[in-house]
């Protein structure tokens, strides 16, 4: 469409959350001009307004744009053929809600980490849109990145670990969802490499993840479009003589500024496929994309402009892609369960302590029933998520169960966040309490694709 200056001045739509059909009238034009003036540096130089710009403002509003992180060189090694794989879980066929001893031990360790380290760091990480270095280091020590990696490849999994993964995601997000995503993102890529990588891909990339200096890495599936369908990405891969060329814009990239390796969804010959893209490849750039919540994860967009990758980059096939989409959604469900539990655990003592009309508000059914419904819906979310995880671990098709878990957690999870704030009233709306953060975080469930994986 040709540029039309008059239309551009009168037509207000297309930005600031305005629909395309919004038009400015003369008063509107005057107000817009006044607003421009109010934003100019001039009034600040004249001392008319208190300067309130902070680091936070720069990070969150101005954003940044940079080339991909100048990461390490992953030396290409390994032979042809499929990689190493873990076997599926062989259960005894009984209905069972009890985790195995190994899983319980893992949950206990992660729960302690979530309580002692993650929760106390959450508020500040939300403001700075970054996870603290020492927290990320500690997350390596408890083995988060190698949880889903086969023991033959330097990880700890002896069988398909989707249930353990779900339990860990849940326990960690009870501390904080944004920090959980930040500390689980590298593990998502490592898990994918272990589950689906070829021998060459595993040999080239996995040693970095099982060593001491674990790279930031991101599973990147989302794109910034409405009704985005991950099975039909707009990002395009084209075959060349020696590899592929990638073009497109991806979103919800965890720790985009630091990530050294991306596992990116793109369409190749009409089919969705995954590609391994190293951050220092020419044509890779990162744009900060701070969002409503999940801010500690340092969300960014990944811009791919004529990015050339070798044949080694093509990861799995279209079936692999579909499975990765599903199991990533499952991980988000587990995050919703953990955050929902955090809400329930917070509002329960609050409504018993808070008094109105001479008694605790918990003594009123309208309040108590909201708490009961949080508990009921939360347990439903948990069970549906566990069922899907069990199927994945056993190597059964879990398309239906994951779709239902995702829909349930999106709908009921957001409901829990909403009711959580409501139960605290005005106190729920202010940052003195963490409930408003959980509210923002829970809106991510159901719309996020990628980033985490079980």
Partner 1 sequence: MRARSEASTRMSINLETPKKIRPLIDQAHQVAMNMLRPISRKYDAAEHEYPKELDMLAAMIDGLADSGASEGAGAAGVRRDDKPEEKAGNKNGANLASVLSVGEMCWGDVGLLLSMPRQGLGNSAIASVATDEQLARFGPTWAAMAITEPSFGSDSAAISTTAVKDGDEYVLNGEKIFVTSGERADSVVVWATLDKSLGRAAIKSFVVTKGTPGMKVERLEHKLGIRASDTAVIMFTDCRVPAANLLGSPEIDTKMGFAGAMATFDNTRPLVAAMAVGCARASLDLTRDILRDAGIEIDYDRPAFSQSAAAATFLQLEADWEAAYLLTLQSAWMADNRQPNSMEASMAKAKAGRVGSDVTLRCVELAGTLGYSETDLLEKWGRDSKILDIFEGTQQIQQLIVARRILGLSSAELK
Which listed residue (236, 383, 415, 427) binds partner 1 by CB under 8 A?
383
| Spatial separation of the C-alpha atoms in residues 296 and 400, rounded to whole Å | 31
In DSSP terms, 291 is beta-bridged to none
Contact string (CB under 8 A) for partner 1, positions 331-360, x = contact? -------------x---x--xx-------x
Contact present, 123 and 129 (Cβ < 8 Å): no
Which listed residue (44, 127, 159, 317) binds partner 1 by CB under 8 A?
159
Restricted to residues 21-60, the positions that interact with partner 1 (CB under 8 A) are: none
Contact present, 230 and 449 (Cβ < 8 Å): yes
Give CA separation, 276 vs 197, 224, 325, in Å: 10, 20, 16
Q: Which stretch binds partner 1 (CB under 8 A): 224-232, 258-266, 421-429, 436-444?
A: 224-232
Q: How buried is 105 (Cβ within 10 angstroms: 0-12 exposed, 13-18 middle, 19+ buried)?
A: exposed
Q: Which is nearer to partner 1, 5 or 93 (CB)?
A: 93
φ, ψ for residue 336, nearest 5 deg: -65, -40
| Spatial separation of the C-alpha atoms in residues 278 and 312, rounded to whole Å | 12
Least separation in angstroms between CB 108 and partner 1: 16
Helix H or strand E segment including 287: strand 284-288
| Spatial separation of the C-alpha atoms in residues 210 and 198, rounded to whole Å | 17
Which listed residue (207, 283, 380, 395) binds partner 1 by CB under 8 A?
380
A 10 A CB-CB count for 301 gives 21
In DSSP terms, 234 is beta-bridged to none
**By rule CB under 8 A, what count of residues binds partner 1?**
66
| Spatial separation of the C-alpha atoms in residues 294 and 336, rounded to whole Å | 12
Told to check if 94 binds partner 1 by CB under 8 A, we report: yes
Told to check if 320 binds partner 1 by CB under 8 A, we report: no
Told to check if 70 binds partner 1 by CB under 8 A, we report: no
Contact string (CB under 8 A) for partner 1, positions 229-268, x = contact? x-x-------------------------------------
Told to check if 390 binds partner 1 by CB under 8 A, we report: yes
Query: Which of the 8 DSSP states describes residue 222?
Result: -
Least separation in angstroms between CB 223 and partner 1: 12
Q: Which is nearer to partner 1, 188 or 222 (CB)?
A: 222
Told to check if 361 binds partner 1 by CB under 8 A, we report: no
Torsion 254-258-259-265 (CA) sign: positive
Q: Which stretch binds partner 1 (CB under 8 A): 2-10, 70-78, 376-384, 432-440?
A: 376-384
Residues that bind partner 1 (CB under 8 A): 87, 89-100, 102-103, 151, 156, 158-159, 163, 227-229, 231, 322, 325-326, 344, 348, 351-352, 360, 362-363, 365, 368-369, 371-373, 375-377, 379-381, 383-384, 386-387, 389-391, 393-394, 399-405, 407-408, 411-412
């Amino acid at each position: 469409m040709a540029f039309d200056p008059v239309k551009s001045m009168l037509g207000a739509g297309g930005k600031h959350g305005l629909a395309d059909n919004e038009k400015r009238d003369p008063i509107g034009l005057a107000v817009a001009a006044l607003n421009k003036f109010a934003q100019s540096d001039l009034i600040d130089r004249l001392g008319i307004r208190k300067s309130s710009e902070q680091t936070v403002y720069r990070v969150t509003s101005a954003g940044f744009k940079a080339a991909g992180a100048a990461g390490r060189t992953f030396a290409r090694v390994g032979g042809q053929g499929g990689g190493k794989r873990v076997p599926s879980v062989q259960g005894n066929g009984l209905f069972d809600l009890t985790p195995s001893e190994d899983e319980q031990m893992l949950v206990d360790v992660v729960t302690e980490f979530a309580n002692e380290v993650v929760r106390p760091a959450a508020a500040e990480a939300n403001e700075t849109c970054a996870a603290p270095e020492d927290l990320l280091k500690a997350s390596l020590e408890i083995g988060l990145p190698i949880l889903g990696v086969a023991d033959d490849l330097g990880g700890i999994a002896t069988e398909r670990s989707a249930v353990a993964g779900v339990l860990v995601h849940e326990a960690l997000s009870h501390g904080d969802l944004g920090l959980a995503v930040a500390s689980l993102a590298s593990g998502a890529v490592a898990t994918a490499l272990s589950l689906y990588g070829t021998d060459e891909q595993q040999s080239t990339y996995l040693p970095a993840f099982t060593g001491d200096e674990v790279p930031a890495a991101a599973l990147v599936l989302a794109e910034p479009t409405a009704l985005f369908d991950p099975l039909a990405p707009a990002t395009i891969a084209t075959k060349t003589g020696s590899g592929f060329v990638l073009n497109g814009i991806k979103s919800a990239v965890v720790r985009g500024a630091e990530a050294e390796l991306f596992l990116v969804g793109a369409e190749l010959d009409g089919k969705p496929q995954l590609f391994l893209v190293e951050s220092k490849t020419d044509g890779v750039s990162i744009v900060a994309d701070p969002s409503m919540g999940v801010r500690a994860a340092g969300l960014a967009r990944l811009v791919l402009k004529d990015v050339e990758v070798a044949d080694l980059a093509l990861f799995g096939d279209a079936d692999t892609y579909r499975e990765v989409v599903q199991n990533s959604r499952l991980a988000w469900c587990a995050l919703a369960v953990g955050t929902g539990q955090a809400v329930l655990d917070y509002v329960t003592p609050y409504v018993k302590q808070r008094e109105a009309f001479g008694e605790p508000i918990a003594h009123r059914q309208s309040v108590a029933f909201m708490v009961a419904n949080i508990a009921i819906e939360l347990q439903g979310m948990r069970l549906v998520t566990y069922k899907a995880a069990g199927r994945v671990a056993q190597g059964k098709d879990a398309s239906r169960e994951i779709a239902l878990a995702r829909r349930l957690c999106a709908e009921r999870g957001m409901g829990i966040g909403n009711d959580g704030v409501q139960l605290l009233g005005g106190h729920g709306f202010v940052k003195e309490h963490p409930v408003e953060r959980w509210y923002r975080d829970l809106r991510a469930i159901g719309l996020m694709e990628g980033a985490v994986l079980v």
